[in-house]
Chain A
Amino acid sequence: MSEKVDTLDCALEVIMTLERRGLRPDDASIAEELGKPIAEVQKMMEEAIQRGLAVKKDGHYELTGEGLKRVLRHRELFIHDRFVHGEDRWSAKVRDWGRHWRHRHGLTKDLLESFYKALADLDGRVEELKPLSDMEPGERGVVVSIACGLGAARRLAEMGLTPGVQVAVVRKAPLRGPVEVEVRGTRVVLGYGLASRIAVKGLGGSA
């Protein structure tokens, strides 16, 4: 998956994340976050500036309006491909995103709005998110978003799976079977489909 994600998008994502943390993103800090050599980052950022996605001011980068839009679109595609369809690069086939979310995934206008809002508010890089179903037994993580129908999302929240809560995967059944998680001192079993729509930020774990 990761190699298919555009690294430019990732770099912009990093800039946004660092800005959020009150830091001033420069070549070195971006390179560190991305785990890429500085030279490569410099080249990439030149391209970004050329395309009007970022500007450079006294040694650090800032996103332009265009750049911000691009990050949000990147996040949207990432969530869509990774969590909602559960397969890579589905987004290539989509033209009108608002329409797609509403018709294909049954999101109402309100929900779509709150979804976009959540994307903009995301704490950290979107690539750090993974479906709960991809976590290994023993791994812990924080629930970031739940991209399933409102009925199920509501029930999950009522059972303690609210955004921001810490979960630990207890076990997973083979062949895309259900996932058992520990949340708020209780154990809950979730079907694979559901677990793959829950975006979690990993915290590592005591496997």
Chain B
Amino acid sequence: MRSITVALAGNANVGKSSIFNRLTGLSQHVGNWPGKTVEKAEGVLYFKGYRIRVIDLPGAYSLSPYSVEEIIVRDYLLSREADVVVDVVDASALERNLYLTLQLIELQAPLVVALNQVDMAEKRGIAVDHERLSETLGVKVVPTVAITGEGLNELLQTIVEAVEKGERLTAKQLTYGKEVEERIERLESEVRKLALSEKYPPRWVSIKLLERDHLVAEMVSKCEGGAEVLELADELAMELEEMHGEPSPIVIASERYSKISEIVSRVQRVVAPPRVRWERTLDYVTTHPVLGYAILLSTIAGMLGLVFYIGGLLSEAIEAYVGDPLAEAARALLSSSLPAEAVRIVVDGLVVGFVAGLVVVLPYVVPFYAVLSILEDSGYLARVAYLTDNLMHRIGLHGKAVLPMLMGFGCNVPACVGCRILETDRERVLCGLATVFVPCAARTIVILGAVGRYLGVLPALSIYLVVFLVLLMVVRLAYKVAPGEPMDLIMEMPAYRRPSLRVTALKTWSKTKSFVIVAFPIIIAASAALEALSAVGLTEQLVPAMAPLTVGLLGLPAAVAIPLVFGFLRKELALVMLAEVLGTWELSEVMTPAQLYTFALVTSIYIPCVATLAALVREFGWKRAILIAMTTLAVAIVAGALAHVIAIMLRS
């Protein structure tokens, strides 16, 4: 079977991953904000006897990278591994999107354009003549709607046909204005003599040199005769600068855009007034200087309240109809055939662990993911970034940093990786530090299960508030330690969109699935391990050893040492283990309200779970990862001790 490699490239938030998911049946992260995909992803599909390898790339505005995820795109496209590059273009923002297309044409990539989001364009009264666009650019253009899958068959058909006919999909070169074009040609004739021109099109190299692209300049300098070429390039770039009074990268960018304006005027027409009444209203209120912040706070509170409410209902139902009967049945089945010790390990360990996962974890996780997904698909997250840009500057970051942090609500692991959308190393680390403080789904379970359930929703919400204040203080402190001018926000603002039910359902399902696959075995194994450990008496040693901390400083029951240690594996495990070591799910019978509060607070803050730690190590290296983890540990102890002291003061 013949194999084709197809890469999906394009600006941020145009629908690359949506197309990828449709084609491969996988579930890459989609949502309505720029910068979700930060790593290359791969999938396979079979079509008309071909094995098609599809590569999903992060979004990029240009082949001159500005942040880490754009480096990935550039490196991949320069590796020329793909047989076909599908340039996914947002039809409702054609002008800006064609900027990358022009660069792909310069690079002579084997190109097919997917004119995506034609439904959105139509809604805004914009009609794009795809046939004309195809003629003008000299590449194949296929209109698509990724969320319904419209046009994707044609896209595949086009790709396969081209490959079958052995067509070279490289577009004819576009010519720029005379001043620039002359200089490109002069430089090109020199670049042709370099060894590099066998690997990359000389015209592309020339344009990049005129643009003063460092990476290309470096490649050229390594070639024999490269020094002279660089000298000439510098001279020509300076001529351009002199003529236009702008740095040459800006001159070239303007040049591309003037070409694009020409193309757009030929292929795009405004045919009707935009139909965006409710979007505009929503946009207005959610970014309003007063209402906007009120809505932001109530959205977070409402989200947690809703999750708490739905989760509580589900939890009760599952417990009554599934959990209890299951434990009883297991006990009855096993007690006759196995020794008492083994029954304890199996029933109290395995079965109770499984039931705990079912009753305590699942009911909260599912609505949480669903609500988060709806928020994310609407486009609200980008508004939050706009609203909080100011606040973020105080801690040395900018509004975009809020995006990975909000992702952290779901899970800290992708959130840490998501910090790649920030521009400097310093900001990425600060953002990583901020991210691990964000209460993820697992910590939400602990907060809701230990505090929300026994003390009410408001105290639970107050933990979030405390954690956010702590986050701000810690990151601000870190910013003071590692100072530097915060970068300025540059972010595309996506239009509001009605979240698609299908996408939400699929996303919730796939996240829940992976949560269950990862979390259940750990919860069950840990429950069994706990029973086994206490059977051999190991827990009796750990508990007193940690007593000065747990009892002395935090005022918690001594047995809490065990859930805290297990919590390092997964945060929700802390809650499950707490119930198991205390021997009851009615936590309020064995712990005071203050103890429950302190426990939830400490669990929310101290050391991120193993998976997050691994992500931190991968993104930031050992040293910084350990530093971040230790910071959270110290902060958790201080916060817990303070909560304890305040509780004592309130009582007396």
Contacts and interface: CB of A to CB of B under 8 A. Distances in A.
B254 A114 contact: no
B619 interface: no
Interface string B577-614: 00000000000000000000000000000000000000
Interface string A11-23: 0000000000000
Interface string B267-289: 00000000000000000000101
Contact of A185 (B96, B289, B389): B96
Contacts of B491: 188-189
B489 interface: yes
Contact of A158 (B62, B242, B382, B386): B62
Interface stretch (A60-68, A96-104, A170-178): A170-178
A160 interface: yes
A188 B495 CA distance: 11
A163 B242 CA distance: 15
Interface string B374-408: 00000000100111011001000011000000000
A159 B61 CA distance: 7
Nearest to A118: B245
B488 A157 contact: no
B202 to A, nearest CB: 23
Interface stretch (A31-39, A48-56, A85-93, A145-153): A145-153
B633 interface: no
A148 B489 CA distance: 13
A29 interface: no
Interface string A160-199: 1011110000010111111010001111111111100000
B488 A190 contact: yes
A174 B238 contact: no
A194 B253 CA distance: 19
A189 B493 contact: yes
Contacts of B238: 110
A69 interface: no
A154 interface: yes
Contacts of A105: none
A178 B489 contact: yes
Interface residues of B, number: 43
A117 B489 contact: no
A154 B254 contact: no
Contacts of B228: none
A96 to B, nearest CB: 22
A165 B260 CA distance: 13
Given A150-B249, A154-B250, A189 B96 contact: no
A120 B289 CA distance: 40
B390 A189 contact: no
B321 to A, nearest CB: 49
B492 interface: yes
B64 interface: yes
A189 B489 contact: yes
A189 B257 contact: no
Nearest to A172: B289
A164 B487 CA distance: 25
Given A153-B249, A188-B491, 8 more contacts: A116-B245, A119-B245, A148-B488, A154-B250, A154-B253, A173-B389, A180-B287, A194-B488
25 contacts: A111-B247, A113-B241, A114-B244, A115-B245, A118-B246, A146-B250, A152-B488, A153-B247, A155-B61, A155-B66, A156-B490, A162-B257, A177-B387, A177-B389, A177-B390, A185-B95, A186-B96, A187-B493, A188-B490, A190-B490, A191-B389, A191-B398, A191-B399, A194-B488, A194-B490
Which 9 pairs, one residue from A and one from B, show the smallest C-beta to C-beta distance? Answer: A191-B488, A118-B245, A117-B245, A157-B253, A191-B489, A194-B488, A187-B493, A184-B95, A162-B254
